[in-house]
Structure 1
């Protein structure tokens, strides 16, 4: 049985308070609100185990926003003189002591935390000191590989992210063409793994793959705009980024490729679907 995780536990008996589960020889209460009519003694249930307000082991069928050993972007439900209490999807809020807060948490705001078991108390707690839980192992991702990335914090260079809930990565500010916010969960593309183990990421594929993908997007946009879009060489780069979330360089390469394929025509005012042309 693992505290802070889902476990397969056997029902021993039922009481007025709920079901008693066997956890490695220990009796754990699953409160009555989680007991259903189709549960019987001897059945196994999948339950999340944690400590209640009195420090007793308790099982629940609620699903937390994260488990022990994971990162989560959580909202502060309330604070007191000991620390902050985060809403993580369970009846009992997750405690983050002041000593584990980089900056003092504010009620109603959300912060990245890592969830772990405090060795002194045995309780599940959180910390905002994310750096010490980022893996020191050297990543083995290949360039072009798609990964999950959580936006962790903003820097002068761009956005630090947590890659696959394990490694540190960076998305450069000058390579983002849509709004990014702390707490966002993104699909990102590995550009390279640096010698120091940090990962450079992009939000789009590069080269021909990017152009091919954007070409399909642009043709759909043309269709939805009745065959004409007022964008071209004359359009400022920031307008293209705001409208299509790509760089002007990618936009120009794509419309050039579509023109050579005779899919579009380029006019002084923009681009439109091509008319049938004779060779």
Structure 2
């Protein structure tokens, strides 16, 4: 199975290059974020013509997630247990849920397409929401893997967190001033290791950016950041044979500000864990 994630930043604007990428790179499962449309507005036609089934979760012109798969999609979920909501001026447990998570089962692999809240600014209520959202996701994931330790599970998407200093090439993002690099956000990211997950791309690609702001020539200057990830359970991590970050997708006409991240999975290793012990796991903390 070839699995990719891509924050497309408006699928209706970029459907042609998105489908062309999926076909050209022989992608079996493509998780998309920030599709910016409702399900009835999604451009299904080009995907279906290319042989993909599509599931979409979108509520308005903001946020939104989708998954396209050549294989049948089952067990569709549009939220995880304990997922908090958010609305400006609305506090409390009954805040409306945003379209930021879509979980499916594909050939035995649980895939979540995730668009983690941005946080906006230090001290902003949206940052507290972001941290609460991540904690709930970690808890829900830990519970699922505790119930089924052999489950091949992938949390993929735009995490809006820069885990390490080497992942930050943007001089405008500064610890103590900016979100994405605060100790609290980084701790929330690293906490997914406690849920049994590891960054399955970093062992194969230790350095590289996945996002460059449109402003101030950030891409030509390579002032990017790494915020798009594929986190996998032990079974999924053991099945990874290759990974790639497709930097060239930031070039050309009307590119997204993000680029795709892709992994190849050995199907024969997805059913059982091949690692002998925990020392064989790729580490998230390096």
Q: Which structure: larger Rg?
A: 1
Select the structure that is richer in strand.
Answer: 1
Instruction: Give the shorter-chain TM-score range.
Output: under 0.3
| Greater RCO (CA < 8 Å, at least 6 residues apart) | 2
